[in-house]
Structure 1
């Protein structure tokens, strides 16, 4: 009987060992199969593909506080927010360029040199240094609306710029509670625009001045109106007075608006005035119905610039004019004018 029991126990052990061996083979097979099916897949991806979640159950507020919330869960920036950030950066770059230029040329400005006539709004605490041929009429329209008037009732005669007295300069120009603004334009193109409106035949606004320029800076005294070449000779040979204390429609930006003495909050460019004015209105919290008028069409393009500047004699006047205006070009980020590159040729580096 004891012998039979021992034989049964040995048989059971053989079956048990056989079963263990079978399980081992199955496990090895499964490991190989899983390795083939998921080769090249990371553990993280494998876990994500399974139905079992291994994410810790941490409250969303805690994750957000710790900065671990997925960006896709945050609300996207609105178009207006993106625009305002873009314009803020543009303004910071323009301000930095002014500061760099003032330091580079060691420019010392005095606010007493500023032109006396400004656009002023005491309700919104805004003062605009208004230089001729930089979209001045559009800015007058805007300030007219800030006073509570309707745009359709605007005329240039109705809205006059404010004469800034000496005792008001500190209040308007240096007060951090006020917003100081300026608008500029590509200098060579501005000269053409000024000449065409103010001095060119057949019906200039300043016929007397046009004839005086012709008589003094033209080739002959014939009583005629000034040509564009006469006008450029006047600007160059009459400098610095012609470009510093002369008519506001062609004086340099760096003198009457003294950007090295005033930390302007807003610097507009006529070439980007649509976006710039939109930002300005947001900056002063103007009512939604107030709008800057549509940007004037760019009448002075490269073709017109070449047409006018090609008439200038002698040709070196172009280099001399650019040299006189170089601070305006650098301070406000304008590249050298196309007229110089084309008319003087690539090999001539006298203007660079």
Structure 2
């Protein structure tokens, strides 16, 4: 009995500590938004950006829960969670998923479609719990490159949409990589700096989810995601619903079969990046770094001095 009581006290303490950390993160974001003049005072830009983001939110009205999905930052896990609580993760749909007949985001959108009435959704936001999952920007960029652009096989859509254009714009005939069809990581970064062309997998958080406008109360980080999403599931009374379907609880763990490997690969990829180029990339994502309290220094140390 005493052990059970002690465990319960420990869990409450963890939840309380996490609540304080979420409040600190929220305050950091809003302070940075205010310091940069991006706190909604520019009303036309504020309204335009807000309405654009609102259309892509996942809105769970029963639980008053709102999530802004950020690709390459825990999105697959939470697409599945929304599919489960929405009641569409049936055995039949699991088979369809395994055969590639449907994607997880399509399944989740069956229950939580993009809103057609942005103004009504905006009003609902005021009484909802809003959350976002973020990740170190340089790690997310690397993850997006490795997943979508590094290899052409199985990624023809991204090769046609981005890969071949990156190669054509960055490569000379006598380039060392002339026989390589796919862009290198350095070429990808040059392309980003030159064109400022963003896909949803590497678009900055500030553009993708409008944190200054939406003022997320819950900000989870990929670096500590397992314990933090367990906190959120506990806070929102989601554990029973999830464990009913997945008795092992593994859904609240990283669903990437290769694990969170980008940090382990960081030095291998970033050591070939000229320091000035990485400084330029940082400037593209500077707001993300500042709002979500990430430091670029470790990656600057990896970069190649020229």
8 A contact 2:149–2:163 mirrored in 1: yes
Secondary structure at the aligned position of 2:300 is classed as helix
- The answer to which structure has the higher helix fraction is 2
Deviations 1:55-90 (A, max 9, x none): xxxxxxxxxxxxxxxxxxxx9771221011011011
Alignment TM-score, normalising by the size of structure 2: 0.77
The answer for unaligned runs of 5 or more in structure 1 is: 1-74
**Count of aligned residue pairs for this structure pair:** 264
Q: 1:324 aligns with which of 273, 280, 284?
A: 284
Secondary structure at the aligned position of 1:163 is classed as coil
User: Hey, what's the Cα distance between the residues in 2 that align with 1:173 and 1:340?
Assistant: 42
Q: 2:55 aligns with which of 108, 112, 116?
A: 116
Are the structure 2 counterparts of residues 317 and 260 from structure 1 closer, same or farther at C-alpha, using a change threshold of 3 Å?
Answer: same
8 A contact 2:51–2:118 mirrored in 1: no
Pair 1:309 & 2:235 matched:
no
Question: Based on CA coordinates, which of the two structures has the bigger radius of gyration?
Answer: 1
Pair 1:268 & 2:217 matched:
no
Aligned-residue RMSD, C-alpha:
2.6
**Structure 1 position 104, deviation (Å):** 1.6
8 A contact 1:184–1:269 mirrored in 2: yes
Pair 1:259 & 2:190 matched:
no
| Larger RCO: 1 or 2 (CA < 8 Å, sep 6+) | 2
The answer for unaligned runs of 5 or more in structure 2 is: 41-45, 98-103, 243-248
User: Hey, what's the Cα distance between the residues in 1 that align with 2:90 and 2:189?
Assistant: 37
Q: Identify the residue that residue 107 of structure 2 maps to in structure 1.
A: 158
8 A contact 1:98–1:331 mirrored in 2: yes
8 A contact 1:141–1:151 mirrored in 2: no
Pair 1:341 & 2:301 matched:
yes
User: Hey, what's the Cα distance between the residues in 2 that align with 1:151 and 1:340?
Assistant: 46
Secondary structure at the aligned position of 2:240 is classed as coil
Q: Identify the residue that residue 130 of structure 1 maps to in structure 2.
A: 69
**Structure 1 position 310, deviation (Å):** 2.3
**Structure 1 position 132, deviation (Å):** 1.0
8 A contact 1:185–1:269 mirrored in 2: yes
Alignment TM-score, normalising by the size of structure 1: 0.68
User: Hey, what's the Cα distance between the residues in 2 that align with 1:146 and 1:289?
Assistant: 7
Q: 1:278 aligns with which of 210, 219, 230?
A: 230
Deviations 1:114-167 (A, max 9, x none): 2732323222222211011011110011111111355865432533362123x3
